A and B are shown apart, each in its own frame.
Chain A
Amino acid sequence: MSDFIRQSRDFFVSIRLTVVLLIMSMILVFAATLAQVELGVWGVQQKYFHSFFVMQEIPHTGITVPAFPGGYLIGGLLLINLLAAHIYRFKLEWRKSGIQLTHAGLILLLVGELLTGLLAEESLMRIDEGQTKHYSESYRQYELALLDLTNPSYNEVVAIPETVLAETGTIQHPQLPFKVKIKDYFPNASLQRRSQAPGTPAARATAGIGPSIAVIPLPLNPKESEGNLPATFVELAGTEGSLGTWLVSPALGQPQTVVYQGHTWEITLRLRRYYQTHTVKLLNFTHEKYAGTDIPKNFASRIQLTTDNQSEDREVLIYMNNPLRYAGLTYYQAGFENNDRTSILQVVRNPNWILPYIACLMMGLGLLIQFGIHLVNFSRQRSAA
């Protein structure tokens, strides 16, 4: 075996590496906790945990450099360290079974967390009493939606996600009779009436309300609570040439429409929607308080759950600590607004939700076995002494 291979093997199986990585993860978690005051939970997750390096700007220069290993790097190295050490030193022994089980559980937990980071989708359903919805909305991702309003009983929708908008360029979709050309995209922008914002560059929009509006790009706001409002310039082009350029943004109140080949199309930039094969109707929302106080006792949404094929049509009560799990989704009571008339449900799709449960069981059992063995040995020694 060459020296290099032996050295790297010794490096990856060493318990020193384990300790160093554990200390680094502790520092990372601690720093991330402090940073939450500034960045909010979502920002921190992106910067510290769902990254290979924590990038930090050198003050006053605008240059960002990797300041510390991120969650993926430390977690990945821990995983390699763990696997390597166990493969290298593996022995089938009763005495070691506890430790092995614990570590196997830990591997599963790390893998599970990685999968959750990659696969889980969280969205919100904001629903008024009496309203029926069959979609939930993303917290922060937007999409450009083109709706064919011609048929009064349903709308055809073509949605272009934010990531595609950010790349700009031309999109040709089989359901669209025209090409969609994304001329520019701002992830966060403020809109002002041209009359109130003199001196801004000439309008790029030629149709809709756009020509009278000035767009001022803003830096991305990392805090989830404060949010961003994107804006985009979109040119539609039919076979006989451009139909015009629209300014589209969720900050614009009125929907904008265009008529082409006898079809009316609506064009909007809205929070990304997740459509389900069932509908949720909010029958009523209750907000209980303890007698004589403002301390909330319970929030509950009574909903009607109806599947599109009518195979299910029932009432469900969603309340604190009691979510609805249906069709791979978890609906839970996240909030309320509008004087207790609007309920906010969080909708989570997490296909590997079972992994942490198995991991926990393995780790708990493993530690119990391990420390149980210690304890038995200890009391044997003492009774012998």
Chain B
Amino acid sequence: MIMKKYFPFIVLLLGAAFVFNTLRVPEQPTGSFNLTGFGRLPVLVNGRIKPLDTVARTSLLAMQGRQRVSTPEISQAFVQSPIEWLADILFAPNKADTYPVFKIESSEVLDLVGLSAADTKIQYDSSAKRFMAVLGFLPSTKSRFSFNQLQPKLAEIERQAQLAESVEPAVRTPFQKQIAHLREVMVLYQRLKHSLQLPDSPSFLTEVTTFQNALPAGVAAVRARQKGEAHDEPAFKAMLEMARRYEIMEKFAYLLAIPPADNEPSLTAWSNTGQALLETFATGSVNPTVMAYATLGHTWRSGQPAQFNEIVQLYRTQLTKRFTVPLEKSDLETRFNAAEPFYSSMTLYAYAFLLAIFSWLKWPEALGRSAYYLVLIAFTLTTAGILTRMWLEGRPPVTNLYSSALFVGWGSVGLCLILEKIYRNAIGSVAAGMIGFATLLIAHHLSLTGDTLEMMRAVLDSNFWLATHVVVVTAGYAATFLAGFLAIIYVVRGLLTKSLDTVTADALTRMVYGIVCFATLFSLIGTVLGGIWADQSWGRFWGWDPKENGALIIVLWNAIILHCRWGGLVKQRGLMSLAIFGNIVTSWSWFGVNMLGVGLHSYGFMDSAFVWLVAFVSSQLVIIGLASLPLNLWRSFRTQNTAS
């Protein structure tokens, strides 16, 4: 029984050690490339100064839905980290072109790009793996392909994508969606390749140095020709060719990697390498940052880690003069990326859920407490993650659909912790584990579209209202979901197990009722605050916009539950069914209205999540159906009846 006594503390320690391990900075082996330092270098992309590390991760997520660059055939990954992949695509594109980073699942698209069954079949290197593949435990076909594999069909991909894009996004077929997406990420890939050097240049450092040296003679030749005087024709031609090349770069470069000049007052006036090189014609000398990146490329290709690391260090020192805060943010963001706090929390929530479930069967005290500890650790971690995002963005917690998923989970788990503190019956922990895990999973899928720290569109650019209306409404969503999930626990336990005794059933009823009260308060105040924002900003309190209507429906539904309860129209099971229907109402308002694509609020445009929404709604309807089964089919109540 000693084991039982100390079990919660062991779990607490293990959980803490697990989190600690993710926060640890891996040591840099001597004589290797300082990729962490490289990944922290800031660039401006999509209106935000962010570290290269973030660019690497979000680009990989957009292209292939994961950060690891590997193929099932080889157990070793192609690169050790996303930033190493980015270094390759920026500096050694020939190598990067062989990595499978374009995810194609549609067989029609595969066919179009000329990939046959032979190309997609996985040749496992071990017979054990081959056996597992036959059984279906391992995939038997590849879904990620390299640029080199797609290159022969670039023109056809372009043509098909243009055809697809003439169709409105909402009504595109799966094929059209995939081909348009493929083209989009291939453009991103090509633009990355043109960001710091020209991919066709054998050595960009040599090219830029030659350009620098040829510049005085070249400019003289151009000027002489303009005046109609005798001039050095080859020098003139060379200048023209350089200008042509850098115009291509100016057009395609994805990263705004060159910080503004010292005399430029705006800290966001970054330019891309092409622009900086074209400015050379006016300034007479190549921008030092262009030079620094070209040298980094050279040392990367020729395998000179010491020089590479020194240049990273020098460039960084150079930046600290004006960009102290952006550098601090870049550093923290890189740490945040590497620690993946939301991923760790997901794991912890899953374990907490299992422990809490088992606590209903055995060791209620020890397992229940262990689950509570894990939820507490995960909650602390998500809190830290959300706070980090808030500091990086300089915004309140909810700014887009992704962050709303984080916040709904956070709010629900927070309420669960309070419930668990009061009732100590592991119900709070089960709900926390379930909702925490589910919302983080939703958030993960929402993050696949790119960087989740987006700039706010002008209409929404108001920290005050984002901090009040959006936060309160989202807390209302969180509470409504929690009430629904607590009700599901009631139905499942009551129907399938004998564990729902009168005490537990009453406790659950009080919990659901309390949370519905909380949900009513928050959704009502949040909705009304939205109205006040609308009135303040555009002189109209209520516009019947779909998202407003969605929030209103949640308020109405919570009011219905409370009135049914107060009027005695429902008892325990009725209350539970109503609360579960609340899940449907909330999911509609959260995701459903975004699929309509009308109104001021439809900025969070969604696509394929519709299937998931339908599946979720159906599952809730099934549970409501189960909840209305006659009492003699409920294992918990049947036992009680026979006992009494």
Which residues on the B side are within 8 Å of A40 (C-beta)? 598
- With A41-B545, A323-B538, A356-B532 in contact, do A292 and B567 touch (Cβ < 8 Å)? no
Residues of chain A contacted by B545 (CB below 8 angstroms): 41
Contact in complex: A293, B520 (CB < 8 Å): no
Residue of A nearest to B554 (CB): A26
Q: Are B528 and A291 in contact, with the CB atoms below 8 A?
A: no
Residues of the A chain whose Cβ atoms lie less than 8 Å from the Cβ of B462: 320-321
Whole-angstrom distance between the alpha carbons of A348 and B544 in the complex? Answer: 16
CA distance A325 to B457 in the complex (A): 23
| Among A250-258, A267-275, A363-371, the stretch in contact with B | A363-371
Q: A30 to B546: give the CA distance in the assembly, Å.
A: 9
- Asked if A266 is at the interface (CB within 8 A of a chain B CB), the reply is no
- A49 interface contact, C-beta 8 A: yes
Q: Are A350 and B458 in contact (CB under 8 A)?
A: no
Whether A113 contacts B539 by the Cβ 8 Å rule is no
- Give residues of chain B (595-633) contacting chain A, Cβ–Cβ below 8 Å: 596-599
Q: Is the CB of B599 within 8 A of A41?
A: yes
Beta-carbon contacts under 8 Å, A235-293 to B? 288-293
Given contacts A292-B45, A292-B270, A297-B461, contact A29 B549 (CB under 8 A): yes
Closest to B535 in A: A353
Q: Which residue of B lies closest to A319 (CB)?
A: B458
B261 to chain A, nearest CB (A): 15
Docked-complex contact A19 and B538, CB < 8 angstroms: no
Beyond A16-B567, A122-B540, A363-B528, whether A291 also contacts B47 by CB under 8 A is yes
The answer to whether A367 and B524 have CB atoms under 8 Å apart is yes
Q: Please tell me which one of the listed residues A113, A292, A323 contacts residue B542 in the complex, with CB atoms under 8 A apart.
A: A113
Instruction: List B contacts of A364 (CB < 8 A).
Output: 521, 524-525, 528
Tell me the dominant secondary structure on chain B's binding face: helix
Interface string of A1-42 (1 = CB under 8 A from B): 000000000000011101100110110011011101100110
Looking at the complex, which one of B256, B455, B524 makes contact with A363 (CB distance below 8 Å)?
Answer: B524
Tell me if A32 and B549 are in contact (CB < 8 A): yes
* A332 contacts across to B, CB distance below 8 A: 537-539
Check if A291 sits within 8 Å of B256, measured CB to CB.
Answer: yes
Distance between Cα atoms of A356 and B556 in the complex (Å): 17
Interface size for chain B: under 10, 10 to 19, 20 to 34, or 35 or more residues? 35 or more
Nearest residue (CB) in B for A361 is B528
Pair A357/B532 contact, Cβ less than 8 Å: yes
Q: How far is the CB of B473 from chain A (nearest CB, A)?
A: 13
B378 within 8 Å of A (CB atoms): no
**B598 near A296: Cβ-Cβ < 8 Å:** no
- Chain B positions 1-56 with a Cβ under 8 Å from a chain A Cβ: 44-48
* Docked complex Cα distance between A122 and B564 (Å): 39
Decide if A191 is an interface residue (CB 8 Å cutoff): no
B187 CB to closest chain A CB, in angstroms?
A: 15
Within 8 Å by CB of A33, from B537, B550, B597, lies B550
Give chain A's interface residue range (CB within 8 Å of chain B): 35 or more
Evaluate contact between A356 and B269: CB separation under 8 angstroms: no
B553 is an interface residue with CB less than 8 A from chain A:
yes
Smallest Cβ-Cβ distance to A290: which chain B residue: B47
Could you say which of B45, B458, B529, B550 contacts A297, with CB atoms under 8 Å apart? B458
A330 contacts the other chain (Cβ, under 8 Å)?
yes
Q: Given A32-B544, A353-B541 in contact, is the A295-B457 Cβ separation under 8 Å? A: yes
Q: In the complex the two chains form, is B46's CB within 8 Å of A295's CB?
A: yes
Quote the shortest CB–CB distance from A20 to chain B (angstroms). 10
Contacts of B535 in A (CB 8 A): 353, 356
Which residues on the A side are within 8 Å of B537 (C-beta)? 320-323, 332
Chain B proximity of A69: nearest CB distance (Å): 15
Cα-based distance from A120 to B540 in the complex (angstroms): 9
B567 and A34 form a contact (CB under 8 A): no
- In the complex, the answer to whether B455 meets A293 with C-beta atoms within 8 Å is yes
Please tell me if the beta carbons of A298 and B540 are within 8 angstroms of each other in the complex: no
B531 at the interface (CB under 8 A from A): yes
Q: Is the CB of B549 within 8 A of A291?
A: no
Chain B 546-563: CB-based contact to A (< 8 A → 1; otherwise 0): 100110110011011001
CB–CB B539/A37 < 8 A: no
Q: Are B566 and A15 in contact (CB under 8 A)?
A: yes
- A295 surroundings in chain B (CB, below 8 A): 46-47, 454-455, 457
Q: Which residue from chain B places its CB closest to the CB of A322 in the assembled complex?
A: B537
Assess A49 versus B544: contact at CB under 8 Å? Given A320-B458, A320-B459.
yes
Complex interface bits, B270-304 against A, C-beta within 8 A gives 1, otherwise 0: 10000000000000000000000000000000000
Residue of B nearest to A40 (CB): B598
The answer to whether A374 has its CB under 8 Å from any CB of chain B is: yes
B596 & A33 in contact (Cβ 8 Å cutoff): yes
CB-contacts of B557-598 with A (<8 A)? 557, 559-560, 563-564, 566-567, 569, 588, 593, 596-598
Q: Which residue of B lies closest to A296 (CB)?
A: B458
The answer for the CA separation of A19 and B567 in the assembled complex, in Å, is 9
Q: Smallest CB-CB separation from B600: which chain A residue?
A: A41
A29 touches B528 (CB 8 A): no
Interface: A212 (CB within 8 A): no
Contact among A18, A26, A291, A360 with B268 in the assembled complex (CB-CB below 8 Å): A291
Report how far A368 CA is from B269 CA in the complex, Å: 48
A residues 321-337 near B (Cβ < 8 Å) are 321-323, 325, 330, 332, 334
Which residue among A14, A32, A36 has the maximum number of chain B CB atoms within 10 Å of its CB?
Answer: A36
Interface string of A295-327 (1 = CB under 8 A from B): 111110000000000000000000011110100
A296 CB contacts on chain B under 8 angstroms = 457-458
Q: Do residues A290 and B46 form an inter-chain contact, with CB atoms below 8 A? A: yes
A371 near B518 with CB under 8 A, answer yes
For A287, the closest partner residue in chain B by CB is B458
| Distance in angstroms between the alpha carbons of A356 and B536 in the assembled complex | 12
Q: Which of A41-82 contact B (CB under 8 A)?
A: 41, 44-45, 49
Smallest CB gap from A381: residue in B: B510
CA distance A291 to B268 in the complex (A): 6
**Minimum distance in angstroms from A248 CB to a CB of chain B:** 32
Q: Roughly how many angstroms separate A19 CA and B545 CA in the complex, as a whole number?
A: 24
A360–B46 contact, CB under 8 A? no
Q: Which residues of A contact B557 (CB under 8 A)?
A: 26
Give the CA-CA distance A122 to B489 in the complex, in Å. 49
Q: Verify B532–A346 contact, CB threshold 8 A.
A: no
Contacts of A29 in B (CB 8 A): 549, 552-553, 556
Query: Do A15 and B47 touch (CB < 8 A)?
Result: no
A15–B599 contact, CB under 8 A?
Answer: no
Answer yes or no: B135 CB below 8 A from chain A CBs.
no
**Cβ-defined contact, B455 with A23, below 8 A:** no
B422 in contact (CB, < 8 A): yes
Indicate if A380 sits at the interface (CB-CB under 8 A): no
A88 at the interface (CB under 8 A from B): no
Instruction: Confirm or deny: B175 has a beta carbon within 8 angstroms of a beta carbon on chain A.
Output: no
Residues of B within 8 A of A299 (CB): 458
Q: Pick the contact of A290 from B455, B520, B567, B597 — CB < 8 Å?
A: B455
CB neighbours of B539 from chain A (8 A): 323, 325, 330, 332, 346, 348, 350, 353
Q: B517 an interface residue at 8 Å Cβ cutoff?
A: yes
Residues of B within 8 A of A374 (CB): 514, 517
Which residue from chain A places its CB closest to the CB of B43 in the assembled complex?
A292
On B, residues with C-beta under 8 Å from A are 44-48, 256, 268-270, 422, 454-455, 457-459, 461-462, 465, 510, 514, 517-518, 520-521, 524-525, 528-529, 531-532, 535-546, 549-550, 552-553, 556-557, 559-560, 563-564, 566-567, 569, 588, 593, 596-599
10 residue pairs, one from A and one from B, having the closest CB atoms? A290-B47, A330-B539, A15-B567, A348-B539, A291-B268, A360-B528, A296-B458, A320-B458, A321-B462, A33-B549
Q: A29-B552, A113-B542 are in contact. List 20 more A-B contacts (CB 8 A).
A: A19-B560, A19-B569, A22-B559, A22-B563, A29-B556, A41-B544, A49-B544, A290-B455, A291-B268, A292-B256, A293-B46, A295-B46, A296-B457, A297-B458, A323-B538, A330-B538, A360-B525, A367-B521, A367-B525, A371-B517
Would you give 23 A-B contacts (Cβ < 8 Å), ordered by A? Answer: A26-B560, A30-B549, A41-B545, A113-B542, A289-B47, A290-B46, A292-B45, A292-B47, A295-B454, A297-B458, A298-B458, A320-B458, A321-B536, A325-B539, A330-B539, A334-B538, A346-B538, A353-B535, A363-B524, A363-B528, A364-B525, A374-B514, A382-B422
